[in-house]
Structure 1
């Protein structure tokens, strides 16, 4: 650790140690853009926004290390200047989004099914545990990751295992070519085509199926984004459009500028589907299922991403048991992503774990945070 980094973390170390000694909960916060996500918010705010800045960036090595409070937008701008990117397209959900929040939430955008998740690009972290001790896991290259890959446990842990200080990430070059196809297809035909395309050597990068209920009559759209070598994208577009026509649908190539704005809106949940819930008591549910799962027999508005692997639904809180049963039957799970006003905090955000998995998670929490002061209740109401 450099002296500058040590100077910056001294107040954080002291705050964590004092909180542990007093048994006082701490709520870790960067930009606050993911405050809505998770079970509950409680404790004194541990502000990470000032622990920001780029520590090192080696474009030729495809590795960047930054402090956790660094704005996500600033990191993406830095990478774009070198023709590189975070290929998992992390959602921001607000201008204050930070790298630490990106890792803690573990959320990925439209390209996740093809490019990988946040954890797949996480090379190493420096963090504080619940006793205020500095811990370093992983490194800045893949070959340095030996033994238990503890750094990846931080992805999706919502700050319950430690306070992220520094994060090392693998980055990738921007794709040289891109094209988006807009297809008119019903859900079963769209899912069938996505499964078929998934088994072929196509530069398939992202997909989104949605039913436009505002049209009269309502229309079903499948958007498919191709990314890769110029020749690969140019060859794939006409063959995939022919597949759509053979399935009884229609397809066209979108203007890249318009498509880019639409994909960004999808990532940030700014599409009409996300901003116009069908009823005041509708909650936004996130169903993670195998890509091969068929259309789910549920009477709720849906948007499907990740080639069938992610099903967004608007449904009341009273449908929690039904949604979780259907998701489990399909081989997945359901998460209460955004709750409607008035929905009690007692409703579990995440699908309750099996006893053996719960025991493992509680054991990890006890090892990293013995006093239970770091973001208590964020993953589960009782710990």
Structure 2
């Protein structure tokens, strides 16, 4: 399907702006669990889809926000290319717009970059119904703030994404996954040691008993790294890393408690809080099922470690789920919200009560 649905979306926003009606932006609806609970009228953008431009030789793709990832990624794979940030799906209907708006990256993120690092330009409709275009289709160093990248992780609170231009990367010629049994402390130390050795790492995870390392690159580079790292090669099919990417690994299936995501310096030692932990991104991302701990304690502990924590899934979605912002940063967020969405109709309070 290749459909420009932007006029319908724009008219819906004009109407909502006039009536000050809150809108909940919906694409594939695979990330509805993420962020605070919304009480708003659904604005379905899923029909606004299609590849607008793809230049494999230029490593640039432009697509409408409602385009399913399940269409984009096979298209890239046919040309030996990929989305570097390895976007989680969380469901078969996942869209490019949802990937950008959520700002969530997969296992390859520390080694190939985050979503915002790939964004070249966007077209959005703001809360006043205006179509705005930021950036372009080439990477430039320009003065001022890069508004197009500001959309990554904004959860639709600043505008409805219409079109997104991304840089893509060539897929590696070879790839293997190695595994070995280790303690949590040793796994973190090894991940950080390997990061300093210029190895062709593309994912590093520890599930509580074993560490897993994905190597991507030329056959010569992979075999050299394999001799350095050791361990056993596991089935090279992508299913294991898809399970890590989409949180369908058994670690995430055996617990009904709220799931917290921690972002901390990669070398941070094991965190001394009771519960079950899984380590991703070579130590920089920690998944945590706590044993009856308050949110205040989790936030405070993360701050002491120079990190932050997010109530990623489950728990009280009517309360605060993202790490509290310092006053000066909240003021900045509020000014941005006011500039892009003065009537506060786009995904209001999806991130924070004050937004």
Using the size of structure 2 for normalisation, the TM-score is 0.97
1:255 counterpart residue number: 235
- Matching residue within 241, 260, 264 for 1:289: 264
Cα RMSD for the two superposed structures: 1.5
Q: Deviations over 1:235-255 (max 9, x none)?
A: 1101111xxxxxxxxx21223
Q: Deviations over 1:186-244 (max 9, x none)?
A: 01111111111111111111111012xxxxxxxx1000111112211111101111xxx
1:248 counterpart residue number: none
Q: What CA distance in whole angstroms lies between the structure 2 residues aligned with 1:377 and 1:236?
A: 47
- Matching residue within 222, 232, 254 for 1:276: 254
For structure 1, the residue ranges without an aligned partner over 5 or more in a row are: 212-219, 242-250
Instruction: Tell me the number of residue pairs that the alignment of Structure 1 and Structure 2 aligns.
Output: 354
1:355 counterpart residue number: 327
- Matching residue within 118, 121, 140 for 1:121: 118
Q: Deviations over 1:149-171 (max 9, x none)?
A: 10000000000000000000100
Measured after TM superposition, the shift of residue 87 of structure 1 is 1.4
Q: What CA distance in whole angstroms lies between the structure 2 residues aligned with 1:78 and 1:62?
A: 13
For structure 2, the residue ranges without an aligned partner over 5 or more in a row are: none
3-state secondary structure, aligned to 2:288: strand
Q: Does 1:314 align with 2:289?
A: yes
Q: Does 1:48 align with 2:26?
A: no
- Matching residue within 137, 150, 174 for 2:171: 174
| Alpha carbons 2:276, 2:289 under 8 Å: kept | yes
1:111 counterpart residue number: 108
Q: Deviations over 1:77-96 (max 9, x none)?
A: 11011111001100000011
Over 3 Å off, 4+ runs: 144-147
Q: What CA distance in whole angstroms lies between the structure 2 residues aligned with 1:234 and 1:224?
A: 13
Larger Rg: 1
Q: What CA distance in whole angstroms lies between the structure 1 residues aligned with 2:198 and 2:229?
A: 12
Q: Deviations over 1:14-52 (max 9, x none)?
A: 111111111100111101000000012221111101100
2:12 counterpart residue number: 15
3-state secondary structure, aligned to 2:110: helix
| Alpha carbons 2:5, 2:45 under 8 Å: kept | no
| Alpha carbons 2:273, 2:290 under 8 Å: kept | no
3-state secondary structure, aligned to 1:56: strand
Q: How does 1:186-205 map to 2 (within 5 A)?
A: 186-205=183-202
